[in-house]
Structure 1
Amino acid sequence: MYQILFTTIVQGAASETWDNQIQHHPSVKSKFKRCLDVVGSIVGLVILSLVFIPIAIAIKFDSPGPVFFVQERYGLHGKTFKIRKFRSMVVEAPQLKNLVENEANGLFFKNKNDFRVTKFGRFLRSTSLDELPQFWNVLMGDMSLVGTRPPTADEVMNYSQHHWQRLNVKPGLTGEWQVNGRSHVKDFEAVVDLDLHYQKKWYPMYDVLIIVKTIYVILAKVGAF
C-alpha cells in the first residue's frame, strides 16, 4: 500500500530533473561505500553475537515481551523493509503513545522522559546498543552504515515534495543527525536539512569521517537519551 502511495506521489509531483537525481545519486552505486558497509556490518554482527545473550536476558528480566522490536521503515527510493532493534519500550508502547507529549516539531516523535521506555531500555538507547540488530539490514543492503534517518509509515504519509529527497540515498545506522545533536535535534525540518546536507556533501571518505564521529558521540554519550 505504502509503496503504491510513494510511487503515486513521486510520479505526480516530482519533475524530470528530480527523477534523474533519484536514480543517479553517486553514493548508491559507490563500490567503496558498499565494501565499507559489508566490512562494517560483519564487525557489527560479531559484536552483536557477543552481547546478544546478556542483552536478551536483561530485556526479559526488565519487561515482559519479545527481545526485538520490529517495524516497517522506508528506504532507498521508497522501498519498504523491516528493521529490528532490541526492545527498549514496554510492549504496549504503541497503544500508549497518545498519552505522551511530543516534544519535537514536525513529523517525528520525541520525548526525553517517555514513561514507556524501560529502565534497561534507557541504557540501551543511551549507548546505542539497541541499534545493533540493524547491522543485518546493512549486510543485506537495505541500509548503509551512513545515510539518512529511515522514516516510518506515519511520517511519509504526511511528506511534502522536498521531504522525499531524503530517500535518494539508503537510510543509515548513523548520519549527520546522529553526529550533530542526536536526540537534542527536535525539529523535523532540521533533520531533513541535515539529511539533504549529507547528500550534497557526500564523497566516499566522508562516510569514514562520520563513522569516526559517531564512535566519539556514542562513547561520550553526546546528545543521547
Structure 2
Amino acid sequence: MVVSNSKAKLTLVTTRLNSILLVQMPPRLTVLEAVAFREMFKSFLEDSTINKIILDFGQTTIIDSSGVGSMITNLKLAQTKKVELVLWSVNEQVKLAFGLVGLDKILNIETNTQATIPTLNRKTDKRPPVTHPSVRSPVKRAVDIVGAMIGLGVTAVLFVPIAIAIKLDSPGPILFSQTRCGWMGRRFRIWKFRSMVTNAEALKATIANQASGAFFKNDNDPRITRVGRFLRKTSLDEFPQFWNILTGDMSLIGTRPPTPDELEHYEIENWQRLDVRPGLSGEWQVNGRSKIRDFEDVIKLDLRYQDNWSLLYDFKLILKTIIVVFNKDSGAV
C-alpha cells in the first residue's frame, strides 16, 4: 500500500500483515518530511487493529533535528495508544543522530535487520548527521576556539571580584550549572555565574511566565539577586560559557539553547532551531531579547540566522553583540 501526503509530497510504502504495519521510511527525514510523517503516523494509530508498527530506515541516509523531533513525538503517540514501535535497518548516521538525544536507548532498534528495499552503496561510516553548514565549518570552529580562549582569559581576570560580590550578596555557590539542549537536541551542562538564589529551580513553578510558547520570561523575577541583576544587565553572568564554547557544546554565535522541559513543548517545526550549535550570542540576543515575548518570534530569528549564515555574518553579529553589551538599555532582565 502507498500512503502519501500531498502537502509535503511525501510518499510512504506500507505493508500490512495481520496486526503489524511495516512502513518504508523516506531517504530524507528533514522538516518537511518530518511534519508530514507526524500526520501520517497519527492516521496509522487511528486503526485500532494495529498493535505494532515497524519503521524500516533502510533507505534513510539524511536526518535533521526535526526528524529526531518527529521520532520523539511519534514514540509518545505510540505509547499513548499502547502500540509497539520497532525500527529496522537504522544506518550509522541516523543512529548517531538518535544517540545525541538518547533515543538510541529508548527506541526499540532491532539489529541484524535488512532493508525491505535494499539501498545500494549504503554508507556505514560514522560521520555526523547532515544538518547545517555552520556545524561543518572548520573556520567557524577555529574562530570559536580563539574567541573562547580570549573569553576565558577575561573571565579569569574578573572571577575573583565577581565571586566576592556573589558571596557577599547571597550565600551559595559562585557558579550555576544547568542542563541544556544543543545541536540536534544533544544535552550538555551549561555554566554561568550564579545570578539567582540557590533554590531558583524549585521556585520556578511559582513565578508567572510573561512569555508565550516554549520559553520562560519574567521581567521582575524575584529569584534574581541584586548582584545577579547587575551581572545579567552587563551579560557578565554568561562569561563561564566560554568553556562550553571551547569544548564544542556551544559556539560564539548560534541559537539560544533550550532546557529539556522547554523541548518537551516543541512542535516538530520548532526543532529546526537545533540544526545549528547554540550560541553565546545570536539574532535573539542582539535584537531585543528582553522585549521578545512570543516564542514564534524567537523561531523566526533563529531561522533567519540559519538562512543568512556565513562567516562574515557571524562577525557582524559578534560586533553587534559588543555594541549591545555596552548599551545601558540592553541586557537580560
TM superposition score normalised by structure 2? 0.62
Alignment of 1:129-168 (within 5 A): 129-168=236-275
**Alignment RMSD:** 1.9
- 1:158 CA displacement: 1.1
Give yes or no for contact 2:183–2:277 (8 Å, CA) kept in 1.
yes
Give the drift of 1:213: 0.1
Aligned equivalent of 1:88: 195
Query: 1:33: how far off?
Result: 0.7
Deviation of the 1:137 alpha carbon: 0.6
Q: Residue 3 of structure 1 aligns with which residue? A: none
- Report the 3-state secondary structure (helix = DSSP H, G, I; strand = E; otherwise coil) of the residue aligned with 1:35: helix
Question: Percent same amino acid at aligned positions?
Answer: 55
Q: What displacement does 1:57 show?
A: 1.0
How far apart, CA to CA, are the structure 1 residues paired with 2:219 and 2:72? 38
- Is residue 2:132 matched to residue 1:25? yes
> In the alignment, which residue of structure 1 is the partner of 2:278?
171
Q: 2:179 corresponds to which residue?
A: 72
Tell whether the 8 Å contact from 2:131 to 2:276 is kept in structure 1 after alignment. Answer: no
Structure 2 gap segments, 5+ residues each: 1-65, 75-93, 95-128
Measured against aligned partners, the alpha-carbon deviations of 1:43-92 in whole angstroms (never above 9, x if no partner) come to: 10000000001111111110011111110001111111000100000011
Task: Report the equivalent of 1:117.
Answer: 224
**Preserved CA contact (<8 Å) 1:181 1:222:** no
Give the Cα separation in 1 of the matches to 2:134 and 2:143. Answer: 12
Using the TM superposition, give the Cα deviation of residue 99 of structure 1 relative to its aligned residue in structure 2, in angstroms: 2.5
In the alignment, which of 146, 154, 170 is matched to residue 63 of structure 1? 170
One-letter amino acid of the counterpart of residue 327, structure 2: A
| Aligned-partner SS, 1:23 | coil
Preserved CA contact (<8 Å) 2:69 2:271: no
- Cα separation, 2, equivalents of 1:222 and 1:182: 11
- Any unmatched runs of 5+ in structure 1? 1-5
Deviation at 1:11, TM superposition (A): 3.5
Separation of aligned partners in 1, 2:228 and 2:67: 36
In structure 1, the partner of 2:312 is 205
Q: Deviations over 1:187-224 (max 9, x none)?
A: 11111110111001101111000000000001013432
Name the CA distance, whole Å, in 1 between partners of 2:293 and 2:317.
20
Mean Cα deviation higher: 90-99 or 45-54: 90-99
Deviation at 1:107, TM superposition (A): 1.1
SS at match of 2:191: strand
Q: What amino acid is the match of 2:156?
A: S
**What secondary structure is seen at the aligned counterpart in 1 of 2:240?**
helix
CA–CA separation in structure 1 for the residues paired with 2:250 and 2:131: 17
CA distance in 1 between counterparts of 2:220 and 2:181 reads: 27
Give the helix-richer structure, 1 or 2.
Answer: 1
Runs of 4+ in 1 over 4 A off after TM superposition: none
Q: Given the superposition, is the C-alpha separation of residues 100 and 11 from structure 1 closer, same or farther in structure 2, using an over 3 Å criterion?
A: closer
Cα distance per residue 1:125-159 (max 9 Å; x no partner): 00000000000010111100000000001100111
The structure number with the bigger radius of gyration is 2
Give the counterpart of 1:182 among 289, 295, 301: 289
1:96 Cα deviation (Å)? Answer: 1.7
Q: Is the 8 A contact 1:184 1:223 kept in 2?
A: no
Hey, what's the Cα distance between the residues in 2 that align with 1:51 and 1:103? 32
Corresponding residue pairs, total: 215
Return closer, same or farther for 1:156/1:12 CA change in 2, 3 Å cut-off: closer
Matched-pair contact (CA < 8 Å) for 2:255–2:276: yes
